[in-house]
Structure 1
Amino acid sequence: MRNVAKTTTLENKFPLLAVENNCILSKDADITACFELRLPELFTVASAEYEAIHSAWHKAIKTLPDFTVIHKQDWYIKESYTPNLAIEDQSFLSKSYQRHFNERPFLNHYCYLFLTKTTKERMRMQSNFSSLCKGSLIPKEIRNKETIHRFMEAVAQFERIVNDSGFITLKRLTEDDIIGTDEKQGLLEQYLTLSREAGTPMQDIALGTEEVRIGNKRLSLHTLSDTDDLPGTVSADTRFEKLSTDRSDCRLSFAAPVGLLLNCNHIYNQYLFLDNSEANLQKFEKSARNMHSLARYSRANQINKEWIEKYLNEAHSFGLSSVRAHFNIMAWSDDAAELKQLKNDCGSALALMECKPRHNTTDVATLYWAGIPGNAGDFPAEESFYTFIEPALCFFTEETNYHNSPSPFGIKMADRLTGKPIHLDISDLPMKRGIITNRNKFILGPSGSGKSFFTNHMVRQYYEQGAHVLLVDTGNSYQGLCELIKGKTKGEDGVYFTYTEDNPIAFNPFYTDDGVFDIEKRESIKTLILTLWKRDDEPPTRSEEVALSNAVSGYIERIKQEDIYPSFNGFYEYVKGDYRKVLEEKQVREKDFDIANFLNVLEPYYKGGEYDYLLNSDKQLDLLSKRFIVFEIDAIKDHKILFPIVTIIIMEVFINKMRRLKGIRKLILIEEAWKAIAKEGMAEYIKYLFKTVRKFFGEAIVVTQEVDDIIQSPIVKESIINNSDCKILLDQRKYMNKFDDIQAMLGLTDKEKGQVLSINMNNDASRLYKEVWIGLGGTHSAVYATEVSLEEYLAYTTEETEKMEVMQLAAELDGNVELAIKHIAMQRRDKVNQ
């Protein structure tokens, strides 16, 4: 039987001729400059910034010559997260995290811009003149080289204006990007297969009146090609109600519903046609006169005349350029039922923009064909409507997915919209780019907001990337993680100090692993003894300070010369014996330094005294080389004698690390303990720490849950907040009425306030996670999801029953916490699967 189907080869019909100098040349002598766009991240742009983006587009478009087509093409492709499980030395928790997100579906966004210089005749062609309708295409010669030269100059200006806006980045596509190489698909191949997967073969393209099919993928097309379909008003941005409150706004671009919020495979095409504006307006003047003369035959003519005159008045009053525009959503599926659902979803998305959803079935083939990169000159003129540049630009989508940080260092968070893991650097790259001037962090979150989860998740990843981590805790929040690290490193790491009556915290302030007593070590010893000797409201005299300094120096010299075992007992005996003689020889008066009083006050810490265990530990722990140390001080945080001593020792451990470990990242995280530290006159330590740590490749992190603490404490206000360029806030909705005070205290902008108050407002019920806001230097901020695997959850949990379950099972398994977590996680998954 003879084949009567109208088949032809793609080669015959293909409208493009070549790619030269990174521009696409069509057979009709159109020339197209191609760009890849990098847009701002979703939910991170404020209303004023949307206006600035809109203004940048407008200024850039005004530089382009007449008979130019601006074609912005946004691809939204469903993809799955592929973890990299081949990385060597991945920890048990890192592997479980990667497995948890394996094949997590998400919508990926790719954005392109094509600027096509065509002719007046081509701009007016209708669908019956499309290259699809021609028997064969004979390449035309570009006659006017000067026109092309001027166009390329305008394109360069366009690129500079958009890039200078600071919000959008245009990157010129190369020949390989457009055509492809042996290793990767080019843009043209992707469009003709509707696939971005490398190695996707070309398949039959059926461009019929009933359906348009690319291989097995059937297209569904919705168009905005008539002013009757448009909303009454448009704007650069719109309020996103799901993440807004009566006190805050979350803004998205006006066209966001047809962008990332439309969760299906689709392409959103946005066209602007720059005709000669003067010629357009003259045509409308003539049309208005005709309508007026025919007004008595039909009221519709009179109404149309009024509309045309309104358009002309706007153009002349404000100096606006008359342009044509067209927008369409091209969705596809290889499943008939899904295609029906897509049709409804696309219609609903347009309805959210207050547009009239028009499912186009007649021009699908020509619109698909005109959408080929570089073929905008083939666009059917009857599918466009007249407007001005500014309202047309409101239909541009202006946001994209969250970006991965290019830095090798960072933490893993999740995209709040899709749950895709994101690599996020909140320390090194922002420092390098000048966004922040220090790595310090201030974390604020009420009880139950997921604060401990986030901090566990962060410090674990810092530790795994080689950082030294010292934690000061008041609630066993890090016990599970510490025990896990201890088991994994066979006791080499994961040191957990806690105070109990049977096993109290004990130190030896005079011990150093290498026998070096630098200035910092000497100063910390003097501060410690001064704290034991004097009350907060009793400052030492100058002579007392000198006498104490000499005593410490004398004892250190004795240690070095005689190779004796250093301890507080030894120091006490030195002062009581040899140093007393030194003072007598110098004839130091009692009123200048009362040695009897000094020895009497320090006696409780000498052997036989009430606290003799505290400063005479015989466990010579080399904390300098330990990379994960937790001090749990809940039992002594209100103890007037023990707490300040323990605090000084902790600070001394970190300052020792800070100064001695060159080129190694170090981190101190102080939980609620900072409140007690601030009360006990230890404020100077915190001030010193926050101002100095940045010089030593370190970061100080303070965690708090009470809003009143930050509002009322001058220590926090002056030292911590002012010296923490990274601020991390968790769910603040219970403090919504107090939030103005927090906003003023932290110096948050209205945009940042809106982001913070949107936390956890629109969480996906199918996923378990809490959201967290991270702000860097007052300029970069976003909300991320802290989502972890079941294994990580069991390691981080602060729930007493769950923690006990892990620890009890670990005790039965010879202290193997990792094995205990694996067992419990397996049992829970089996239970869910049943």
Structure 2
Amino acid sequence: MSNLLLNSATLENKQPIYKVESNCLISKNADVTVAYRLELPEIFTLSAGNYESLHSAFSKGVRILPNHTVVHKQDWFVEDKYTPEFGEDDTMLSHAYNLHFYERPFLNHHCYLYLTKTSSARDSWNSMSTMLSRSNIVPKDMMKDEVLNEFFTAVGQFVRVLSDAGITLTQLTDDEICGTDTKTGILEKYLSLDLRDKSPAVDIDFTNGLKVGPRACSCFSLGRLDDLPSALQTEGKYGPLSKDNSPFYVGFAAPLALLLPVNHIYNQYVFVDDHKKAIKKFEKKRDNMNSLSGTSRENAINKEFYDRYLNEAISDEKLIVRAHANVLAWTENPHEEKALREAVGSAINSLNCAARQNTVDIGALYWAGIPGNAGDFPGEESFYTFEDAATCLWNVETNYRDSSSPFGIKLSDRISGKPVHVDLSDEPMKQGIIKNRNKFVLGPSGSGKSFFTNGMVRQYHEQGAHVLLVDTGNSYKGLCELKGGVYFTYEEAKPISFNPFYVEGRPDVEKRKSLHTLILTLWKLADEKVTQSESVSISNAIAQYYQLLEKEPSLKASFNTFYEFLSGPYRAHLDTEKVREKDFDIHNFLYVLAPYYRGGEYDYLLNSEKQLNLTKESFIVFELDNIKDHPILFPVVTLIIMDTFLQKMRQLDGVRKMILIEEAWKALATANMAEYIKYLFKTVRKFFGEAIVVTQEIEDIIGNPIVKDTIINNSHCKIMLDMNDFLSRFDDIQRMMSLSDKEKDLVLSINRNNRPGAKYNEVFITLGGRVSKVYGVEVSKEEYVTYTTEQTEKMQLFKKVNDGMDISSAIQAYADELRAA
């Protein structure tokens, strides 16, 4: 830091901090300051009740502090750019996503709190009393130990009160305050208005306003009662996201914080003076007004004001304090200075406050904002009020935070669209927010469900998860192709085909049980009774069949060879054992199963020549749209699905597993499948797995009595998209989904204020009813091409594939065409 242009004084001589010791700042006036970094609640996540609770905690904290204490809360909002980490192992879509968001501008927020114990009462200290203006600095004696001990004890209580309210406070260390050889500290960062770890030394010029290096500064303050509205609130309605039936709240000071899109610092001060002395001061003024009331009606009115103020202070036991707030904004572009002042002034006016620009006294306000120098604040810039009114001016919100978990998905914040790392599974489980990883996704057609679920599935798979999808509508065809997954669908020219009899090694109990269920499903009608002897006969047949396969390795497992085993060796075995026809009718059994044998109508279904071990395939899609109403194929396919995921659950220890069922009613039509879903949702968490149901009609779940309570009650993560199509029924949806009023307002705010020109949808996510947010779902062109469900766009993509391109090249080529269009 070089010259301070005030009579050629140097910053070294004028800077107010004497030393930093034991994580405390000690000023040359012998003021002692403890500094903290704060983590505030995330914006757009709080209800009116939450704001009241936070405000109550702030007020309570202020009341704890001893006389002659200054609370200085300093919120930095600095323009920044998103810089993702590109890795050599990034997939094509992951790389495209990072490029899409590369250098996305956003407003970075850092919040600091400075608690200063002044060495004397300085309520009359003015802008000419600061060290910046005095020629001689005489340090005062340090305070007595008992005074400091009282202060530090109160600081500890203050921290506890805020922590209990959900605010994280971290005390700054000596190095974080002063800096090191490689990293600048908060003192130097403030003096250069640069939060970078390597902030350069700059000149500070007070000759014409304030200029810090290349940054021209403007300051607007709330330092007079006349500047404020008649009443202060803890929160206010946020118009762009509010409607009459669903109000949406932000903190009262939010327009001066994250919602003010310029580089700025929002300083908030509360001065705790001697309360008894203040009472006497106002009583004296009241008496003066009373004695002069006969000469002026204005004096009589003022006397009544003093009476009401004093009565409230005494009867309600409120603490008299002084308060001040200011916005220090800056720009490096001279052409933007006018727009900067207009933006700040407009933000202040939106609070029904008078926008008063500081010109002559901007230097004093900037100087008082130095960490640890709040005791130098000019008293004429503050006003008397109660502690609860003063803390209404505090900013209580911050940006969306990234999850600390290495696992998760990327979504976007609502203000700038900056990517946010969100863990919906592991971290919430560890924190006890949820007790299972299951998810229920609801959104009408066109709301963006497929883009959200495609993105979630892709990112889970890229982080090692095994994914099994039950789809209707080819929503995942592009992604499955790109991932080299297995795609099962039915077409006349290429009917759906499996080989459930193929296993590596000997089948376990679960596999034999699933084959048993499959064979019974092929043989018996849904309402047809199965006798004990029939069940035992089938179990024996399966066991003996696999014994035969072990003896004859050249024999390939399939339904064909199983049928031949039944009609040959097993029939002979039954004759030898003299099994009666009424116990097990082998003739009827073979006759009913014949259509699935070679030459039968459905001989393709269970005799796939691909020897796929689906347990080891990490990406599998069952597309059921063409067979959802087929009385033969659909029940068989659902059993294959059950078997496949059960095998993954039992055999893939330590591997994350996901089963996602799109448009639930089609997959839950049979009693077998519904019972399976019921079992799955209750037990999958024990096997490091999660079950997800996606639907666009809530009645699809409600209408199935077996599944309704199971899915809703055992999905601790609920995800909803744009619900405008369901507004007339939303009260019913709210009850069924167990949404609070705050969550209802969040859901109904979806897509109300999307950024102009940006193409994306928003999604509401609640975890256990305890953590609820709305995120943006924005993707790159490559992801859009991969995820799209528009038929014409899918045709364009797969035409390139059919013309000889590999799927990755086709996606990139089509994405380039869309960007150029």
TM-score normalised to the size of structure 1? Answer: 0.95
Alignment of 1:368-407 (within 5 A): 368-407=366-405
Answer yes or no: is 1:761 the counterpart of 2:762: no
Alpha-carbon distance between aligned partners in 1 of 2:679 and 2:548, rounded to the nearest angstrom: 30
What displacement does 1:586 show? 4.9
Matched residue, 1:450? 448
Answer yes or no: is 1:818 the counterpart of 2:808: yes
Runs of 4+ aligned structure 1 residues displaced above 6 Å come to none
Matched residue, 1:93? 93
Matched residue, 2:556? 565
Question: In the TM superposition, what whole-angstrom CA distance separates every residue of 1:623-670 from its partner, at most 9, and x where no partner exists?
Answer: 232222222121111101001101111221121122111211121111
Match of 1:792 among 774, 783, 797: 783
Matched residue, 1:640? 631
Matched residue, 2:163? 163
CA contact (8 A) 1:12 1:136 kept: no
Matched residue, 2:818? 828
Alpha-carbon distance between aligned partners in 1 of 2:702 and 2:723, rounded to the nearest angstrom: 15
Amino acid of the residue matched to residue 296 of structure 2?
A: S
Alpha-carbon distance between aligned partners in 2 of 1:397 and 1:93, rounded to the nearest angstrom: 38
CA contact (8 A) 1:13 1:136 kept: no
Kindly tell me: are residues 645 and 204 of structure 1, through their superposed partners in 2, closer, same or farther at Cα, counting changes over 3 Å? Answer: same
Alpha-carbon distance between aligned partners in 2 of 1:300 and 1:443, rounded to the nearest angstrom: 64
What displacement does 1:587 show? 5.0
Amino acid of the residue matched to residue 201 of structure 1?
A: P
What displacement does 1:80 show? 0.8
What displacement does 1:4 show? 11
Kindly tell me: are residues 221 and 639 of structure 1, through their superposed partners in 2, closer, same or farther at Cα, counting changes over 3 Å? Answer: same
Question: In the TM superposition, what whole-angstrom CA distance separates every residue of 1:309-341 from its partner, at most 9, and x where no partner exists?
Answer: 110111111111111111111111123331211
Secondary structure of the structure 2 residue equivalent to 1:359: strand
CA contact (8 A) 1:72 1:270 kept: yes
Answer yes or no: is 1:123 the counterpart of 2:114: no
What displacement does 1:588 show? 4.4
Alpha-carbon distance between aligned partners in 2 of 1:230 and 1:280, rounded to the nearest angstrom: 21
Alpha-carbon distance between aligned partners in 1 of 2:579 and 2:141, rounded to the nearest angstrom: 104
CA contact (8 A) 2:36 2:113 kept: yes
Matched residue, 1:204? 203
Alpha-carbon distance between aligned partners in 1 of 2:334 and 2:61, rounded to the nearest angstrom: 42
Secondary structure of the structure 2 residue equivalent to 1:699: strand
CA contact (8 A) 1:499 1:633 kept: yes
Question: In the TM superposition, what whole-angstrom CA distance separates every residue of 1:111-142 from its partner, at most 9, and x where no partner exists?
Answer: 01000001443232111111111113233330
CA contact (8 A) 1:12 1:137 kept: no
What displacement does 1:785 show? 0.6
Answer yes or no: is 1:500 the counterpart of 2:491: yes
What displacement does 1:603 show? 2.0
Question: In the TM superposition, what whole-angstrom CA distance separates every residue of 1:214-267 from its partner, at most 9, and x where no partner exists?
Answer: 112122111111111111222211221211233322211111111111110011
Deviates more, 1:731-740 or 1:668-677: 668-677
Alpha-carbon distance between aligned partners in 2 of 1:496 and 1:444, rounded to the nearest angstrom: 25
CA contact (8 A) 1:120 1:275 kept: no
Question: In the TM superposition, what whole-angstrom CA distance separates every residue of 1:418-448 from its partner, at most 9, and x where no partner exists?
Answer: 1111111111111111111111111111111
Matched residue, 2:608? 617
Answer yes or no: is 1:56 the counterpart of 2:47: no
What displacement does 1:616 show? 2.0
Matched residue, 1:266? 264
Answer yes or no: is 1:523 the counterpart of 2:513: yes
Match of 1:439 among 431, 437, 440: 437
Amino acid of the residue matched to residue 197 of structure 1?
A: R
Secondary structure of the structure 1 residue equivalent to 2:357: coil
Deviates more, 1:241-250 or 1:386-395: 241-250
What displacement does 1:470 show? 1.5
What displacement does 1:308 show? 0.7
Answer yes or no: is 1:713 the counterpart of 2:707: no
Matched residue, 1:323? 321
Answer yes or no: is 1:47 the counterpart of 2:13: no
Secondary structure of the structure 1 residue equivalent to 2:276: helix
Question: In the TM superposition, what whole-angstrom CA distance separates every residue of 1:772-819 from its partner, at most 9, and x where no partner exists?
Answer: 11111110111111111111111111111111111112322x231222
CA contact (8 A) 1:474 1:673 kept: no
Question: In the TM superposition, what whole-angstrom CA distance separates every residue of 1:373-419 from its partner, at most 9, and x where no partner exists?
Answer: 10000011111111111111111111100001111111111111111
What displacement does 1:509 show? 1.8
CA contact (8 A) 1:644 1:680 kept: no
What displacement does 1:584 show? 4.7
Deviates more, 1:257-266 or 1:238-247: 238-247
Alignment of 1:328-367 (within 5 A): 328-367=326-365
What displacement does 1:40 show? 0.7
Alpha-carbon distance between aligned partners in 2 of 1:467 and 1:537, rounded to the nearest angstrom: 38
CA contact (8 A) 2:119 2:142 kept: no
Matched residue, 1:192? 191
5+ long unaligned stretches in structure 2: none
CA contact (8 A) 2:210 2:216 kept: yes
Alpha-carbon distance between aligned partners in 2 of 1:7 and 1:226, rounded to the nearest angstrom: 33
Matched residue, 2:589? 598
Answer yes or no: is 1:480 the counterpart of 2:470: no
Matched residue, 1:693? 684
Deviates more, 1:115-124 or 1:525-534: 115-124
Secondary structure of the structure 2 residue equivalent to 1:614: coil
Alpha-carbon distance between aligned partners in 2 of 1:329 and 1:532, rounded to the nearest angstrom: 75
Amino acid of the residue matched to residue 122 of structure 1?
A: R
Deviates more, 1:663-672 or 1:532-541: 532-541
Identity of aligned residues (%): 56
Question: In the TM superposition, what whole-angstrom CA distance separates every residue of 1:527-562 from its partner, at most 9, and x where no partner exists?
Answer: 111111222222423333233222322323333344
What displacement does 1:507 show? 1.5
What displacement does 1:151 show? 0.6
Alpha-carbon distance between aligned partners in 2 of 1:28 and 1:89, rounded to the nearest angstrom: 57
Alpha-carbon distance between aligned partners in 1 of 2:463 and 2:143, rounded to the nearest angstrom: 61
CA contact (8 A) 2:488 2:497 kept: no
CA contact (8 A) 1:536 1:681 kept: no
CA contact (8 A) 2:6 2:206 kept: no
Matched residue, 2:213? 215
Alpha-carbon distance between aligned partners in 1 of 2:565 and 2:383, rounded to the nearest angstrom: 95
Deviates more, 1:379-388 or 1:118-127: 118-127
Question: In the TM superposition, what whole-angstrom CA distance separates every residue of 1:460-509 from its partner, at most 9, and x where no partner exists?
Answer: 111111211111111111111122223xxxxxxx2222111121111222
Kindly tell me: are residues 807 and 764 of structure 1, through their superposed partners in 2, closer, same or farther at Cα, counting changes over 3 Å? Answer: same
Match of 2:598 among 607, 612, 624: 607
Amino acid of the residue matched to residue 81 of structure 2?
A: S
Answer yes or no: is 1:69 the counterpart of 2:54: no
Answer yes or no: is 1:546 the counterpart of 2:536: yes
Matched residue, 2:38? 37
Match of 1:423 among 405, 421, 424: 421
What displacement does 1:821 show? 2.2
Alpha-carbon distance between aligned partners in 1 of 2:182 and 2:491, rounded to the nearest angstrom: 63
Amino acid of the residue matched to residue 545 of structure 1?
A: S
Secondary structure of the structure 2 residue equivalent to 1:129: coil
Alpha-carbon distance between aligned partners in 2 of 1:673 and 1:701, rounded to the nearest angstrom: 10
Kindly tell me: are residues 496 and 329 of structure 1, through their superposed partners in 2, closer, same or farther at Cα, counting changes over 3 Å? Answer: same
Secondary structure of the structure 1 residue equivalent to 2:358: coil
Matched residue, 1:807? 798
CA contact (8 A) 2:220 2:355 kept: yes
CA contact (8 A) 1:674 1:702 kept: no
CA contact (8 A) 1:15 1:137 kept: no
Matched residue, 1:18? 19
Secondary structure of the structure 2 residue equivalent to 1:762: coil
Secondary structure of the structure 1 residue equivalent to 2:640: helix
Alpha-carbon distance between aligned partners in 2 of 1:459 and 1:296, rounded to the nearest angstrom: 79
Secondary structure of the structure 2 residue equivalent to 1:625: coil
CA contact (8 A) 2:217 2:331 kept: yes
Alpha-carbon distance between aligned partners in 1 of 2:6 and 2:67, rounded to the nearest angstrom: 41
Alpha-carbon distance between aligned partners in 1 of 2:279 and 2:316, rounded to the nearest angstrom: 14
Secondary structure of the structure 1 residue equivalent to 2:328: strand
What displacement does 1:729 show? 0.8
